[in-house]
Structure 1
Amino acid sequence: MSNPVINNFGRMGNGGYPAPSATELQGMYDQPAYAGPRQGGGYMTLDSVVQRTAAMLATVFAVGAITWVAVPDRLFLPALLIGALAGAGLGMFLAFTQRVNAATALIYAAFEGVFLGAVSHAFEQWKPGIVIQAVVGTAMVAGGMLFVYKIGAIRVTPRFTRVVVGATIGVFGLMVVNLVAYLFTDDGLGLRSGGPMAIGFSLLCIVIAAFNLVLDFDMIERGIRQGAPQKMAWLAAFGLTVTLVWLYIEILRLLGYARD
């Protein structure tokens, strides 16, 4: 006699549910394989981050070139102040609210373009050839940090993140204090006077900016891996642009000090 328990188990596979028939199995086999989310289907991808970052950097370069060429010398200081204040204000708003979309990201990039165009023009008049050196230096640092991140030489741990974020807040706090100190002394705290302290401070800022790039790379990789929504690609591009602009400015300053 056959065992009724074994027979019942054979009829109720898949955790107690009836086993599929041959027709059902054939239908399951004939279904197309899963090919991942469709392009533009709502998930952040590496391509989407690269495209948005490229759009922001292209806006920075285009507006910067227009500012460099079209703005008269007497208006460079107003342009610099408008670009710096508007860019800083909008950047802080986007960083704290994270309401980054195509419009706000590109407007921020345009303000940064005005600021960088004015600053770069002033530095180029002061030290010819310095701008291209700063651009190449920024690209080399960014490429180097991407390389060491991809090979795993730097691991983004919670402790690493806390240290980098704390150091970033600290140096920006020192910048604000240094600006206030200019109201009372000609050199402020000496952080931007061109002396040994200024060189050391710029080197420190470059190192911290480079580590912020690692945090940006890690955020992008985790977002893609975890299926972040497509709108997060603009936030990732914004973060990269902010860090690259800061890195460029600090390298430009350091090269200026070195020229002296």
Structure 2
Amino acid sequence: MESRNPVFGRSEQFSRGGYATFDARTPSADDLQGMYDKPAASWRNTDRMTLDDVIMRTASLFGVLLVTAVAVFALVEPSDPILAPLVFGGAIVGLVMSLIISFSKKIRPALMFVYAAAEGLFVGGISLLFNTLYDGIVAQAVLGTLGAFVAMLALYKFGVVKATPKFTKILMIAGFGYLAFGLINMLVSWISGNNAYNSPLGWLIAAFGVGLAAFFLVLDFDFVEQGIRNGLPQEYAWTAAFGLVVTLVWLYIEILRLLAILRGDD
């Protein structure tokens, strides 16, 4: 199964059997003796990507995002005129960085940190606005995001949900459909002021978005597993970490939106 995630989809290294290749030449007796005399290889001297590498790099990117978001949430007032530029600026810079990173053939950790900082501005500002309207909603959204992550990881780990080709195809179609819906809804909202999320079925649309983002985590877990299995160089842990952070930000925003709709009558 090839990756369909925009972050991993252009990389053959994250497909099944995609990276590791072997010399077909029959080794000589001297070659065999040389291999026998070498010390046993470990993850430290093979420079191959491991799960620990992915975890550490995910934590570093998420740490930058979290620090930036908390700074905006704690230091900026909802009525401060700088809030809107921070939110829209962070969203635009984050989008541009994500496109450059996803379509670049070179792994760019520096741009990933820029993305994390920009998304921190966006997430922190949006969280501040929502929390002003609905007190305590941010804490609920954070707990919901962590709960969804743990639940999907458990479902994937125990084989309840598998990233089969059919599952991936359906999920990608749903993802592109939801993206198209979001763009159309945004355009209609700007023109007429009508927002589909404010309709009686708004909570159902938002719940669909939460479920879609959560299931995309399964694809992320599978892509990471295949990358490790294929023996990727350690630097590809940055790509894996970036993909996870992108999905987690999406999941958090969707949960925040759903909670706001459910609490709309408070």
Q: TM-score range by the shorter chain?
A: 0.7 to 0.9
Q: Which residue of 1 aligns with 2:55?
A: 50
Report how far residue 33 of structure 1 moved: 5.3
Contact 1:101 1:231 (8 Å CA) reproduced: no
Report how far residue 181 of structure 1 moved: 1.0
Structure 1 residue 80 corresponds to structure 2 residue 87 = yes
Distance 1:153 1:97 in 2: 34
Unaligned runs of 5+ in 1: 1-14
Q: Which residue of 1 aligns with 2:4?
A: none
Indicate the structure (1 or 2) with the bigger Cα radius of gyration: 1
How many equivalent residue pairs? 235
Q: Which residue of 1 aligns with 2:14?
A: none
Distance 2:36 2:176 in 1: 57
Structure 1 residue 36 corresponds to structure 2 residue 42 = yes
Q: Give the number of the structure with larger relative contact order, counting CA–CA contacts within 8 Å between residues 6 or more apart.
A: 2
Deviations 1:45-77 (CA, angstroms, capped at 9, x unpaired): 101100010011111110011112333422111
Q: Which residue of 1 aligns with 2:208?
A: 204
Contact 1:53 1:237 (8 Å CA) reproduced: yes
Report how far residue 95 of structure 1 moved: 2.0
Distance 2:147 2:105 in 1: 29
Amino acid at match of 1:236: A
Aligned with 1:152: secondary structure? coil
Please report the TM-score for the alignment, with normalisation by the length of structure 2.
Answer: 0.82
Report how far residue 96 of structure 1 moved: 2.6
Report how far residue 32 of structure 1 moved: 5.9
Deviations 1:25-54 (CA, angstroms, capped at 9, x unpaired): 9x8898465233425x43111011000100
Structure 1 residue 71 corresponds to structure 2 residue 76 = yes
Distance 2:35 2:219 in 1: 43
Q: Which residue of 1 aligns with 2:228?
A: 224
Map 1:159-198; keep pairs closer than 5 Å.
159-188=166-195, 190=196, 192-193=197-198, 195-198=199-202
Q: What root-mean-square deviation, in Å, do the aligned CA atoms of Structure 1 and Structure 2 show?
A: 2.3
Tell me: CA distance 1:28–1:111, structure 2 relative to 1, closer, same or farther (3 Å).
Answer: closer
Contact 1:137 1:251 (8 Å CA) reproduced: yes
Distance 2:35 2:170 in 1: 52
Contact 1:44 1:233 (8 Å CA) reproduced: yes
Aligned with 2:193: secondary structure? coil
Contact 1:100 1:238 (8 Å CA) reproduced: no
Unaligned runs of 5+ in 2: 1-25
Q: Which residue of 2 aligns with 1:241?
A: 245
Structure 1 residue 62 corresponds to structure 2 residue 43 = no
Structure 1 residue 253 corresponds to structure 2 residue 260 = no
Q: Which residue of 2 aligns with 1:134?
A: 141
Distance 2:35 2:260 in 1: 67
Identify the range of structure 1 (216-225 vs 30-39) with the bigger mean alpha-carbon deviation.
30-39
Distance 1:108 1:100 in 2: 14
Aligned with 1:74: secondary structure? coil
Deviations 1:83-124 (CA, angstroms, capped at 9, x unpaired): 111111211222233544320111100000000110011111
Tell me: CA distance 1:107–1:30, structure 2 relative to 1, closer, same or farther (3 Å).
Answer: closer
Distance 2:218 2:256 in 1: 21
Q: Which residue of 2 aligns with 1:125?
A: 132
